[in-house]
Amino acid sequence: MHSRRTRRTFLQKTGALLGGLALSGAPVATLADTQGIQRRTPPPPGMNPFGVALVGLGNYATNQLAPALQETERCRLTGIVTGTPAKADKWMAEYNIPEQNVYNYETFDRIADNPDIDIVYVVLPNSMHAEYAIRAAEAGKQVITEKPMATSVRDCERMIEACDQAGVKLSVGYRLHFEPHHQEIMRLGQEQVFGPVTVVEASFSFTSRNTDAWRFSKEMAGGGALLDVGVYAIQGARYTIGEEPVRVRASGYNTRPDIFTEIYETILWEMEFPGGAVSSHSTSYSANVNRLYMMAPRGWARIEPAFMYNSVSGETNEGPMGYPHVTQQALQMDDFARCITEDETSRVSGEEGLKDMQVIEAIYRSIDRNGRWVEV
């Protein structure tokens, strides 16, 4: 296992080491902290946790976010927004949510009058993120939206503007910024521990069997695997290299045009960074790959599987990273709550989501131009 000492400095610099010492004395040790990896600042004494309303009670809200909200220290699940009354009954019983904190898509705006709800977390199909994030901001609520932030650069900008105007914070559900293997690869790359990063290879694909779902509709999803999971590969390259890509080239493939009628089945792309690093990527709904690989003159790091909730694993040329499991979503939401309390911009802010969407739009432009290099 490699040195932790320098890692601590990096985490302090990036804010990933959730110190906040001034507020409440020594931070509480978490499991990860016992290995010098991750700290979560305890809530200020007597803090009333922020109330979170989940909008859209699908797979991710049900199986990841609601359970994670049972582990958070600075926020808790107090409300839901759903179009399905049977789901409302089930959630009210399971999570002790009072009826006055249950909304549907028509009554949603009345959330403005509900003091039990401070944060609205949008977990809807991609094309609906912008509308509900903006309505939440207009209701005066702090906003988290799932990835991809939206389906166009223009919508990302509108969301940022709406939150700025309302004086609320906006963040994107980029949970991996709170995962220790990913924090370590950020440090190794950005601090050039093995020399300046030369190549990043990052790919995320899975075999999707649910081919009639919204993810296969261009209108609802905004694109295919690229927006859904390819965005993690874009993120991985950006945060490992610590720079913004300047140009990309890409190609799209479709071996099953009967199923993939509106979206590409597979996209391959490359990115060039201002410091000279390059990155290479693939994303597909017909393959299984899940890795983030960093190469530099004096060493390498590989996280594989990289983008999972539970089974992230990594090594470098010096040995296994060996970090323990963390509940990424709980750390992500608690950090957003901390940012509200301390009036800080989230490290997974709307601007982060916007930058990824700028890359995504450039990738589609390159595909339309037969794979020519295009500026981001």
Q: For ligand NAD, which is the closer residue by CB, 63 or 255?
A: 63
Catalytic annotation, pick one of 174, 232, 293, 364? 232
Identify the sign of the CA torsion 161, 171, 123, 52. Answer: negative
Q: Are 364 and 223 in contact (CB under 8 A)?
A: yes
Is 147 a known active-site residue? yes
Catalytic annotation, pick one of 141, 147, 169, 355? 147
Task: Give me 56's structure tokens.
Answer: 């859209």
Helix runs in 140-258, H state only: 153-166, 180-190, 218-221, 225, 231-241
Nearest residue to ligand NAD on Cβ basis:
58
End-to-end CA distance of the chain: 38
User: Measured from the CB of residue 235, what is the shortest distance to ligand NAD in angstroms?
Assistant: 11
User: Measured from the CB of residue 86, what is the shortest distance to ligand NAD in angstroms?
Assistant: 11
Q: Among 237, 256, 217, which Cα is nearest to 360's?
A: 237
Is 105 a known active-site residue? no
Distances (CA, A) of 369 to 151, 280, 281: 20, 19, 18
User: Measured from the CB of residue 291, what is the shortest distance to ligand NAD in angstroms?
Assistant: 16
| Footprint of ligand NAD (CB under 6 A) | 56-61, 83, 123-126, 146-147, 173, 175, 214, 228
User: Measured from the CB of residue 298, what is the shortest distance to ligand NAD in angstroms?
Assistant: 33
Q: For ligand NAD, which is the closer residue by CB, 57 or 376?
A: 57
Q: For ligand NAD, which is the closer residue by CB, 43 or 224?
A: 224
Task: Give me 186's structure tokens.
Answer: 């950020």
Pairing between β-strand 278-284 and β-strand 199-205 as defined by DSSP bridges: parallel
Catalytic residue list:
147, 232
